[in-house]
Amino acid sequence: MKEKLIVFDTTLRDGEQSPGASMNREEKVRIAKALERLRVDVIEAGFPAASPGDFEAVQAVSQAITESQVCALARALDSDIDRAGEALRGAKRPRIHTFIATSPIHMERKLRLTPDQVVERAVAAVKRARRYTDDVEFSPEDAGRSEEDFLCRIIEAVIAAGATTINIPDTVGYSLPLEFGALIRRLRERIPNADKAIFSVHCHNDLGLAVANSLAAVLNGARQVECTINGLGERAGNAALEEIVMAVKTRQDMFPCDTDINTREIVPCSKLVSSITGFPVQPNKAIVGANAFAHESGIHQDGVLKHRETYEIMRAEDVGWVANRMVLGKHSGRNAFRTRMRELGIEFESEEALNEAFARFKELADKKHEIFDEDLQALISEQTYEAAAERVKLIALHVCADTGETPCAQVVLKVDGEEKRGQAQGSGVVDASLKAIETLLNTGSNLLLYSVNSITTGTDAQGEVTVRLEKSGRIVNGQGADTDIVIASAKAYLNAVNKLLSPTSRRHPQAADV
Ligand code: KIV
Ligand code: ZN
């Protein structure tokens, strides 16, 4: 019997710390349900003390999830731990994850605490967390740059105080695989009560080594890996869940453990996260990139046709790649629509919400004859974007693009209930449309990113546009989908503008003063 490798997903917490990747409560619940279908063991849903929005999202995920464990992050502070405990109240199997930095640079320069004070705070935090749940995880932040003797001391103390999982983060992505694996082995050997806790790792990808470091740790006794879908996360991201899971599965000859992940859900989950966050997956990304299983060279194609394993170490269908399948069409009824949505993990809160989504589906089916799962996901995202779009709405857009003429756009917006009209010229119709919007709104924001992705194949496919705007250090992503990419672009731009106009802002966990 193989040992179990626990998969702890932090897409909703560390993943959300990617600039511009913030998700609202409904989006977090949708991703949490997809993670549950993937059979992730632990879902880190957020950092409740960071903002009321984070608190509510953790609460909502706790209520929606029944199979996976739900975890909340808390600094080693009474107030954070109490917030985490409250947010997790509805969870079936709650976990509190508390952390404090242990590297000399973080203790001296950031915390301004002595090592003794840090140990005291860590022990107190774990004890307080145990009042809410008997499943408590402790992380010595920046462990990769901490002194080993100090790590041994603090870990022994928190295990004695009741921590059941010890997570070793390589917070700044500094470690190398041999070194990190050896560190995990020595910690397990040196700490007298190490057998009372599960050792976990949490690796960042600053040197592109997050997955390699995580796997080295697993080979040296770690039995939990913290990771994110598509490797999303702070700066260069976290270890990618799909890569860790498939490496362990494909190389069972090397690993003494295995995960319970339902690998066929990997690609659908990756697409959902990408569409909600607006972070496209690079085509050559392992496992989930569009080219991950595409063979271009003649020699490779010939080999694969003769005997698949000549060039393929995994099967595309095992990770959830399927040819676009028409699931619904113009003549599909309300029941078929509701059933397929349910299969995709989307439940409607009311008959009214179902009717609204169904009306949008019919509108789309008029423009596009074959509706795929990806279209349905985008349709729901679209409904969520519009729900968020409170202050500015798109009423109409007209563009002109004649050969040899300067492209132009006329736009009608409703701004705080008042209809406004604007027009502009641009280097193309998208440029003209966004400029026409700006003539009315004067947001003063900087456009950091504009990208278009085709949701499915074919020229009638919906284009999904992501726009990233920056203003006064605040970065937001906006998305919009439509069979017409000019309209999708205007929708995405307005979605981002509405986020900029919304007063809610988030604090960043590791940037916060402890
Ligand atoms: O990278 C890190 O150190 C973290 C901790 C909160 C575990 O995200
Ligand atoms: Zn992290």
Mind giving me the DSSP string for 318-383? GGT-------EETT--HHHHHHHHHHTT---SSHHHHHHHHHHHHHHHHH-SEE-HHHHHHHHHHH
With beta carbons less than 8 A apart as the criterion, state whether 460 and 369 touch: yes
Residue nearest to atom 4 of ligand 1 (CA): 171
pTM, rounded to two decimals:
0.84
Q: Which residue spans of the chain are classified as CATH 3.20.20.70? A: 3-277
Which atom of ligand 1 is nearest to 99's Cα? Answer: 6
Cα separation, 176 vs 114, in Å, equals 28
Task: Indicate where the chain has its CATH 3.30.160.270 domain(s).
Answer: 390-501
Query: Are residues 72 and 58 in contact, defined by beta-carbon separation less than 8 angstroms?
Result: yes
For residue 97, which ligand has an atom nearest its CA?
Answer: 1
Residues 390-501, CATH architecture:
2-Layer Sandwich (3.30)
**In angstroms, rounded to a whole number, what is the distance separating the alpha carbons of residues 72 and 49?**
10
- Contact between 373 and 326 under an 8 Å Cβ cutoff? The reply is no
Query: What's the CA-to-centroid distance between 169 and ligand 2, angstroms?
Result: 7
Answer yes or no: are the C-beta atoms of 98 and 75 closer than 8 Å: yes
For residue 427, how far is its CA from the centre of ligand 1 (angstroms)? 44
Q: Can you give the pLDDT of all 514 residues of the chain as single tens digits? A: 899 999 999 999 999 988 777 788 988 999 999 999 999 999 999 999 999 999 999 999 999 999 999 999 999 999 999 999 999 999 999 999 999 999 999 999 999 999 999 999 999 999 999 999 999 999 999 999 999 999 999 999 999 999 999 999 999 999 999 999 999 999 999 999 999 999 999 999 999 999 999 999 999 999 999 999 999 998 999 999 999 999 999 999 999 999 999 999 999 999 899 988 888 898 899 999 988 987 667 777 778 788 888 888 999 999 998 765 667 888 888 888 888 888 777 878 889 989 999 998 998 988 887 888 878 888 887 776 666 557 899 999 999 999 999 999 999 999 999 999 999 999 999 999 999 999 999 999 999 989 888 877 788 888 889 898 998 878 888 888 899 999 999 999 998 898 888 765 454 444 444 4
Q: Any alpha helices (H) in 162-309, and if so which ranges?
A: 177-190, 210-219, 241-250, 266-277, 298-306
Residue 277 in tokens? 């966050």
Cβ density class 24-50: b for 16+ within 10 Å, e for less = bbbbbbbbbbbbbbbebbbbbbbbbbb
Does 3.20.20.70 match the CATH number of domain 3-277?
yes
Looking at ligand 1, which residue's alpha carbon is closest to its atom 2? 171
Count the neighbouring beta carbons within 10 Å of the beta carbon of residue 336: 13
Q: How far, in whole angstroms, is CA 252 from its chain's centroid?
A: 27
Q: Residue 454 forms beta bridges with which residues?
A: 463
Helix axes 334-343, 373-388, angle to 10 degrees: 90
Residue 209 alpha carbon to ligand 2 centre in Å: 14
The DSSP code sequence of 414-483 is EETTEEEEEEEE-SSHHHHHHHHHHHHH----EEEEEEEEESSSSTTPPEEEEEEEEETTEEEEEEEEES
How close is the Cα of 498 to the center of ligand 1, in Å? 30
Among 138, 204, 214, 227, residue to substitute to test ligand 1 (most atoms within 8 Å of Cβ): 204
Q: Which atom of ligand 1 is nearest the CA belonging to 141?
A: 3
Q: Tell which atom from ligand 1 comes closest to the C-alpha of 172.
A: 1
For residue 160, the CA-to-ligand 2 centroid distance in Å is 25
- Alpha-carbon distance values, 302 to 69, 294, 305, 308, 318 (Å): 46, 13, 5, 9, 22
Which atom of ligand 1 is closest in space to residue 13's alpha carbon? 8
Ligand 1 neighbours (beta carbon < 6 A): 14, 73, 99, 139, 141, 169, 171, 202, 204
| Three-state DSSP state, 248 | helix
From residue 383, give the alpha-carbon distance in Å to each of 339, 358, 453, 505.
Answer: 18, 11, 18, 22
Residue 416 φ/ψ region, left for φ over 0, alpha for ψ in the -120 to 50 degree band, beta for the rest: left
Give the C-alpha separation, 140 to 146, whole Å: 8
- Torsional class of 208: left (φ above 0), alpha (ψ -120 to 50), beta (otherwise): left
The pLDDT, as a whole number, for residue 510 is 47
How far is the C-alpha of 200 from the C-alpha of 203, rounded, in Å?
10
Residue nearest to atom 8 of ligand 1 (CA): 14
pLDDT of residue 438: 96
Q: Whose CA is nearest to atom 1 of ligand 1?
A: 171
Distance 198 CA to ligand 1 centre (A): 17
CB 280, CB 236: distance < 8 Å? no
Q: What is the DSSP letter of 207?
A: T
pLDDT of 504 reads: 57
Rounded CA separation 306/295 (Å): 13
Q: Which atom of ligand 1 is nearest to the CA of 510?
A: 6
Q: How far apart are CA 24 and CA 29, in angstroms?
A: 9
